[in-house]
Amino acid sequence: MHSPMEQFEIKRLLNFHIGSLDASFTNSALWMVVAVALATVVFVFGMSRRAMVPGRLQATAELGYEFIAGMVRDNVGNAGRKYFPFIFTLFVFILFCNLLGLVPYAFTPTSHIIVTFAMALVVFLGVTVIGFVRHGAHFLSFFVPKGVPLVLLLLLVPIEVISYFVRPFSLSIRLFANMLAGHTMLKVFGGFVVMLGLYAGWAPLAFIIAFTGLELLIAFLQAYVFAILTCLYLNDAIHLSH
Amino acid sequence: METPERDPEGERQRLDDLDARLKKARGPEVRPTQDMRVSHRETGVAYRVLVDMIAGLLVGGFLGYWLDRWQGWAPWSLIGGLIVGFAAGANNAWRAIRVYSDQADKGGNRLP
């Protein structure tokens, strides 16, 4: 029987080496490509007819657009409008990676912390650059709480700075841990089905069916949380609000 | 037997009457969906807070450990890093909760 962690193993499909850098095309990369391709198909084909009364695919595409557009408008305001394409892309990519990971034999790129951390780092660096571009050195006042005596500032400013640097970690750990835990759980209970056999294996099988439903919810919820936290960080940088 | 031409006014009254009786039979109106949504939201906030605090500890601990290795201050910067990291995590958690409670006060239904 396979170990429950085997599903997360990275396998090289095509070998590429640039100098000492291993740039091989892996199963993780393959499923990211599949996610991007499928998302492109859904949104390009869905919107190709531009019907007044949308069909199923067009309704899906429009629903996703409106959902994220509303999120950006509510959380960042008008200033966030130009960052909408980025947040929408991020949301759709994570959502498709999460959902495709639930297909049997598929690989979940978002169950690897290096993938989620890379995305979180892009968000973190981008938001920091936006903050400095918009406010210059004044952006540093973000780390200084207002109305606090000078002595306490010596203690509070380092805490604020570290809180800021914790962001990419909490953002990436949240997504990766949810995916990793969910898929491991499914695999463990799948193992129970085989071990208990025809007589008692039905109970864990029923659990797996119910748990897959929960995993669908989590796949959506985690993409949502990633997008909305990006919005909140962006709002902090643009409006310097605590 | 029913006559072919019905009285629309009487029809409506009959339906209103039926509606009223149905409402009475169902008892006072409750909205379970509303409660479900609130509890869902609270679960989301709880998860966020948990991860925030753990990440704070991890980052603080890692910084302290790295400073120990680099400057040879063992174990003091690890201890200090863990304390500051915990404070940072609690700070982030507090902020997440405050956003949520502000929205709850406003009666909004948005997830923070």
ipTM, 2 decimals?
0.70
Q: CB-based contact (8 Å) between A173 and chain B? A: yes
Q: Between chains, do B92 and A173 touch, taking CB under 8 Å as contact?
A: no
Residue B107, classed as helix, strand or coil, is coil
pLDDT of residue A200: 87
Question: Whole-angstrom distance between the N-terminal and C-terminal Cα of chain A?
Answer: 51
Give the number of other CB atoms < 10 A from CB of residue A79. 14
Q: Between chains, do A167 and B92 touch, taking CB under 8 Å as contact?
A: yes
pLDDT of residue B21: 86
Asked if residue A21 belongs to a domain, the reply is: yes
Asked if residue A1 belongs to a domain, the reply is: no
Q: CB-based contact (8 Å) between B61 and chain A? A: no
Residue B2, classed as helix, strand or coil, is coil
**Domain extent at residue A219:** 6-239
Element (H, E) at A70: helix A56-76
Name the domain count of chain A.
1
Asked if residue A31 belongs to a domain, the reply is: yes
Strands A25-26 and A12-14: antiparallel
Tens-place pLDDT, residues A199-209: 888 999 999 99
Q: What is the mean pLDDT of chain A?
A: 90
Q: Between chains, do B47 and A232 touch, taking CB under 8 Å as contact?
A: no
Q: Between chains, do B88 and A169 touch, taking CB under 8 Å as contact?
A: no
Asked if residue A95 belongs to a domain, the reply is: yes
B71/A225 Cα distance (integer angstroms): 38
Tens-place pLDDT, residues A5-17: 888 888 888 888 8
Asked if residue A182 belongs to a domain, the reply is: yes
Per-residue pLDDT of chain A (242 residues; tens, 9 = 90+): 678 888 888 888 888 888 888 888 999 999 999 999 999 999 998 888 888 888 888 999 999 999 999 999 988 888 888 999 999 999 999 999 999 999 988 999 999 999 999 999 999 999 999 999 999 988 998 888 888 888 888 888 988 898 999 999 999 999 999 999 999 999 999 999 998 888 888 999 999 999 999 999 999 999 999 998 999 899 989 988 65
Asked if residue A12 belongs to a domain, the reply is: yes
Residue A18, classed as helix, strand or coil, is strand
